[in-house]
Structure 1
Amino acid sequence: MSGRSASGRAAIGRVALAAVCALAGAGIAAPAAARAATPGVCAAADADIYRPPDGAPAAPGDVIACREVGSLPMVVTSTPYRAWKLRYGSTDGRGRPAVVAGTVIEPLTPWTGPGKRPVVAFVPGTLGIGPQCAFSKQLAGEYQDAYEGANLAALLDAGYAVAVTDGAGYLDGQVHPYVVGADAGHAVLDIVRAAPDLPGGGVGAGAPVGIWGYSEGGAGSLWAGQLAASYAPELDVVGVAAGAAPADLKQVAANLDGGMFAGFLVDAVIGLASTHPGLPFDELLNDRGREAVRDAESLCAVGTVTRFAGARFTDYTKDRLTLDQIYALKAPDGTTWSEVADANRLGVGVGRPGSGARHEIGFPVLQYRGLLDEVIPAETARANRQAYCAAGIPTEWTAYAADHLLGDSLAVRDTVTWLTDRFEGRTATNDC
């Protein structure tokens, strides 16, 4: 971990620069628009939004607590809006009740399109796995190294309401289950269910829904799309846009281990262990490994990349286990690390409505990536696209001359246009 190449330092610098630019942008132009909170309506204390469950479970999509916020410093737009933080009921990947936090933003400009104002469920990219990194906190101006405020502003400028889940595991004392598919997908779908129930809000029940995310958010978006028909069939999902999704965790792990973005691998192993406590994990770690876990849970995106640049997971285990050796290890019930990783692979069991597939998808999908992406291997993206195409799901493919970081920002305009086409009922391009 001590030797870093010039290209490696440049990669770290690009990630750090993204955070600096997000902060600088927020400081240059305050969002023109947010209306002051209405007293007595969605007026929970901020601490209540992040309180872990302490009573009877809430139904998926139920609003447990909410707080109208006056402005979101990360969202720089001339479009007037209202914004709420909320805590809402969801379901974890094993079907157990869960509670998640997030943000709903509604433009105050009149909706002039047909029907109800559409809502886009936006799924943030990698932020870190500790509760201090929650996207709702960063949007509201707390500790920041998030980088997707411009994505939200573009959606608001297009007239769409936005429902942004933090994702599971960002309440006080929790650990985010990084890249765990069902937890992510449920959290996305449930914030859309919750949005119409915000007191004083104007997001309409039954509004058309688009889903969008990049990187970790791309995986969460695709998982929401795969689970929508079975988990939230009442939602009118019209399309899913997903960029640079880590579709096959094993392929991505092999690419990350020892590389400049090895911190994402550390987060992923901790995330999988948090949702499968029976898997051997703590007992495998040496002193460096235990320190790595503590650091990963205390750092957000930029700190994680910097801290773990060049790290190899074998250095964190007592017996210097390789990833393949770890995959073979079993929980007491016989479940292996390999099986858990494979259970989170996208594109498995997908099909058209009426096909009898495990995940029936009745809407088009946009998948995209940067041609120079150093985080998500090309074969992972290619295989996921092929799986969707083979299942007969209309799939549009776009590639940008960009690395992983720039691929997110370069796709904003195209993705908002693609979502607009879905909301307006235009026939989707199918590149299969």
Structure 2
Amino acid sequence: MERRSATTGLRRWSRVAGMVACGLMMLASAPVGQAKPIYPAPDPDPFYAQPADIAEYEPGDVLGTRAMPPLAAFPETDVTLVQFRSTNSMGEPIAAVTTVLTPRDRKPDGPLLSYQHIINGLGAQCSVSRVLYTDDPNLMVREAPAYNFALRRGWSIALPDHLGPHFAYGAAKLGGQITLDGIRAVQRVDELRLRESPVVMAGYSGGGMATAWAAAMAKDYAPELRIAGAAAGGVPMNLVKMLETLGLGAHPVFGLALAAGLGLEREYPDRFPLSEQLNDKGLTVRQSVANSCTNDLLAAGAGRGALDFAKTTSMIDDSEARSVVEENSLELYDGTPNMPIFEWHSPIDGLVPVDAIVNTVGRWCDAGVTVQSLAVPVPDHLTAAVLGLPHVLSWIDARFRGETATGNC
């Protein structure tokens, strides 16, 4: 049914991380102007529109489904869009979407993998549900082999658009809530035959953030879900530490940092007023990237830094802006997972502070969580993602077979 009526290098990425957490906190520190947040253009497809009565639904309620055309990259696989009710960071109801890949020869209540893909973007065309129907090389070259491994084993895969309807790039807690509500919704769609399926979550980097947040929040946010485990790799566990330890300065990929700031402003318009801090050049660039994906974001900020787009050159320590970053830093979140965890990372990752990963995993272990941690012996963020994948798939397969997880805390 339709809805009711119808790796370019270690140094480059480490500087990007610094800019995301540091430069944008500087820009958002004190009210200077009257510019308001800029939101993405409404999706032209009415399926994605939020129903007027969204508040009448509960988190995870299905708002609609749509059967999609088959994809050549995934033979003998059905594709279904599911729109559902979720919750934003302010506790308000929102509509979100997940894409479900189901093998045609699957058994009823077969395994369900919720995979949180990396999404770098501010507009509708950047969502996983859209990118699947493009020739995006990152998805088809890097991700398709792993998806097909899972599909051939009879697993269904849910791919949530975990940035939400405003494409709040950088809002990690939001991604966790959308992930959990997406699992709820998928299991409530009768024709998918997944109601009693064992569930595992997985993701890396930005997708790992959504996964790890979902794992840590599940006990309180979705206590009825029976999730067999979560595999989260390369997770930025503490954005505050990025602020404090990584420097500023112009860089060819500053556009991704600016996009993260704009995304946080969309989610926290009263507490993270980035647009008020932008000069004329910054406002012009903001307008040009309001609906952009990775390549256009990179082009817009190439060779620039926070100081190029700010009205002020001083760093102002604003408690409200800082609190937004803290609220999206998992190391500072009290909740702990109620499921086994597989965590993997590079021990000398230039993108995320490794001590934040170690501290978070240690706290979870102390709380009795079964954690299997793998330090992949490579010197960069993205290579660790690829080399860790065989271990991840083996661990997930064991969870689906019902084996008891072991840890190495």
TM-score (norm 1): 0.77
The match for 1:269 among 257, 261, 265 is: 261
> Counterparts of 2:223 and 2:384 in 1: how far apart (Å)?
32
Where does residue 427 of structure 1 map in the other structure? 404
SS at match of 2:66: strand
Where does residue 389 of structure 2 map in the other structure? 412
Q: CA deviation at 1:407?
A: 2.6
CA 1:303–1:149: 2 relative to 1, 3 Å: farther
Where does residue 333 of structure 1 map in the other structure? none
The match for 2:327 among 343, 359, 372 is: 343
Where does residue 182 of structure 1 map in the other structure? 173
Where does residue 150 of structure 2 map in the other structure? 155
SS at match of 1:392: coil
SS at match of 1:182: helix
> Counterparts of 2:257 and 2:117 in 1: how far apart (Å)?
18
Matched residue type, 1:415 = V
Q: CA deviation at 1:139?
A: 0.9
Is 1:403 aligned with 2:395?
no
Where does residue 72 of structure 1 map in the other structure? 71
CA 1:303–1:9: 2 relative to 1, 3 Å: farther
Deviation digits for residues 344-401 of structure 1 (CA, Å, limit 9, x no counterpart): 1113344xxxxxxxx2422111111234533223333333323323333221111222
Q: CA deviation at 1:302?
A: 3.2
Is 1:209 aligned with 2:202?
no
- Whether the 8 Å CA contact 1:214–1:243 is kept in 2: the answer is yes
> Counterparts of 2:178 and 2:247 in 1: how far apart (Å)?
26
Match runs of 1:275-286 below 5 Å: 275-279=267-271, 280-286=273-279
CA 1:289–1:230: 2 relative to 1, 3 Å: same
Deviation digits for residues 220-258 of structure 1 (CA, Å, limit 9, x no counterpart): 001111111111111111111111111111233553744
Could you tell me which runs of 5 or more consecutive residues in structure 2 were left unpaired when the two chains were aligned. 1-7, 14-42
Aligned residues: CA RMSD: 2.8
Is 1:135 aligned with 2:135?
no
Deviation digits for residues 144-178 of structure 1 (CA, Å, limit 9, x no counterpart): 754533332232123211111011434xxx3x122
SS at match of 2:246: helix
Name which of structure 1's ranges 233-242 and 57-66 shifts more when overlaid on structure 2. 57-66
Where does residue 367 of structure 2 map in the other structure? 391
Using CA pairs under 8 Å that are at least 6 residues apart, name the structure with larger relative contact order, 1 or 2: 2
SS at match of 1:373: coil
CA 1:294–1:224: 2 relative to 1, 3 Å: same
CA 1:51–1:397: 2 relative to 1, 3 Å: same
> Counterparts of 1:397 and 1:81 in 2: how far apart (Å)?
33
The match for 1:245 among 235, 246, 253 is: 235
- Percent identical among aligned pairs is 26
Match runs of 1:312-327 below 5 Å: 312-322=305-315, 325=316
Deviation digits for residues 312-356 of structure 1 (CA, Å, limit 9, x no counterpart): 22332101243xx2xx225xxxxx111111111113344xxxxxx
Give the aligned length: 366
- Whether the 8 Å CA contact 2:54–2:93 is kept in 1: the answer is no
Q: CA deviation at 1:118?
A: 1.7
Matched residue type, 1:82 = D
Deviation digits for residues 390-432 of structure 1 (CA, Å, limit 9, x no counterpart): 3332211112225222332333222111111122232323121
